[in-house]
Amino acid sequence: MKTRNLSILLASLFVIAGAVFAAGARAEGEVPAPPAIGSTIDDFTLPDVDNKDRTLKSLAGKNGTVLIFIAVQCPVSNAYNERMAKLAEDYQAKGIAVIGINSNAAEDASAVKAHAAEHKLAFPILKDPGNKIADRLGASVTPEAYFIDPNNKLLYHGRIDNARNPAQLETSDLRNALDAALAGKTIEKTEAKAFGCTIKRA
Amino acid sequence: MRFTKAIVPITLCILLLSLAVPAQKKGYAGKTRAVVSPIDTEALKGLLTQQRERPLLVNFWATFCDPCRDEFPDLVKIDKDYRPHSLDFVTVSLDDFTDIKTSVPKFLDQMNATMPAYLLNVTDPEPAINLVDSRWQGDLPATFLYNEKGEVVYKHIGRVNAAELRAAIEKVVSKKGDGQ
């Protein structure tokens, strides 16, 4: 009986050690996995650039909301400033709100505010102290976009489009998703890998 | 006589010019500038899947990526320790293509990096990212170690731990060439 218990213990230890080894070997970084397409994003509260608390619910559009993780210093995110401003302008009229989220620990609210003014980013931008929302959404880079419907169901996650350089634009994945949702059609591509600068977590 | 007088300054000028021309090809501090080659998705596929005699270490990085810059001195040391006799090592920059002759070689020069350097020249990085690893989101830095069969034996997304990477390299490098 003792031998059997010992065998079970050793087998358990072996399995645990194997799992730990496998996890270590994966070494995927520390960013939590993003929520699956179709899952619901819970409401959250974050301070805006004037340190006033805002909820997702209060900023949401009647036809959906786009959350974009952005940065002040990232050249990739900055390459998208004009496109993000235009996106917000174009879809505000269609009932889709755009919200920027800055989760970079080294970029404070005043820097985010000055950057938004300089680049004419007219949509609300929230600071994410301690990158809690970036962690909840599994955001790893800037710019990285999430599109949720009026019930906060995640419909699209990933890049804004294929090209940092607008002259090489081929696929406007985010706009395609928004247009499909507005037309009541199925979104063909619900995920596209976002490429950009790693979010500098606290 | 006048010709003889004139030839001295002319010769001096030619001599000075001949010294100045190669100096323009050099970077700052008199070092040769790193050469960064463009690579597209097909060429990257060829690089990763070709038959090889030695393990291959590939580091994906960009000048705008702080952890990439932070880890580079460790990678340069690893390159100098292993590439001469037991490991192939290439870097692939995901900077904008316009940086191929400016900020990318400048940074490599600052790092004294001499490993083959590429810059991904694509309009859409997603196929290349998926080619490397479908689970990789494209966040940088990303480091992959392939054995001679082309199998990934180690990967790390984020700033690499030099000791961990060295341990992984030690496991796959050929002992035959060690110490040469």
Residues of B with CB under 8 A from a CB of A: 62, 64-67, 94, 96-97, 123-126, 129-130, 135, 137-140, 154-158
B40 located within any domain: yes
Three-class SS of residue A122?
coil
How many domains, in total, are found in chain B? 1
Residues A25, B154: C-beta atoms closer than 8 Å? yes
B28 located within any domain: no
Residues comprising chain B, all counted: 180
Q: What is the DSSP letter of A111?
A: H
B6 located within any domain: no
Residue A42 has pLDDT above 70, yes or no: yes
pTM for the model stands at 0.80
Smallest CA–CA separation between B167 and chain A, in Å? 12
B92 located within any domain: yes
Q: pLDDT band at residue A195, thresholds of 50, 70 and 90? A: very high
Chain A residues inside the 8 Å CB shell of B96: 75, 79, 164-165
Smallest CA–CA separation between B71 and chain A, in Å? 14
| Summary mean pLDDT of chain B | 84
CATH assignment of the domain containing B46: 3.40.30.10
Domain containing B126 equals: 33-177
What share of residues in chain B are helix, strand, coil (percent, to 5)?
45, 20, 35
Please state, in angstroms and rounded to a whole number, the distance separating the CA atoms of residues B180 and B174.
12
Give pLDDT, residue A143.
97
Residue B17 has pLDDT above 90, yes or no: no
Residues B123, A162: C-beta atoms closer than 8 Å? yes
Give pLDDT, residue B33.
79
Residue A110 has pLDDT above 50, yes or no: yes
Residues A165, B154: C-beta atoms closer than 8 Å? no
The A residues from 125 to 164 touching B (CB cutoff 8 Å) are 140-141, 159, 162-164
Q: How far is CA B71 from CA A73, A128, A168, B158, in A?
A: 20, 26, 31, 9
| Partner B contacted by A66 (CB < 8 A) | no
Model ipTM value: 0.76
Please state, in angstroms and rounded to a whole number, the distance separating the CA atoms of residues B41 and B111.
26
Return the C-alpha torsion angle A160, A162, A164, A167, nearest 10: -110
Chain B residues inside the 8 Å CB shell of A170: 123-124
Residues B138, A171: C-beta atoms closer than 8 Å? no
Q: Which fold has domain A32-198?
A: Glutaredoxin (3.40.30)
B26 contacts: CB under 8 Å, gap ≥ 6: B32, B33
Cβ–Cβ < 8 Å for B117, B27: no
Q: pLDDT band at residue B14, thresholds of 50, 70 and 90? A: very low
Q: What is the DSSP letter of A184?
A: T
Enumerate the β-bridge partners of residue B60: B92, B142
A24 contacts: CB under 8 Å, gap ≥ 6: none
Please state, in angstroms and rounded to a whole number, the distance separating the CA atoms of residues B127 and B42.
10
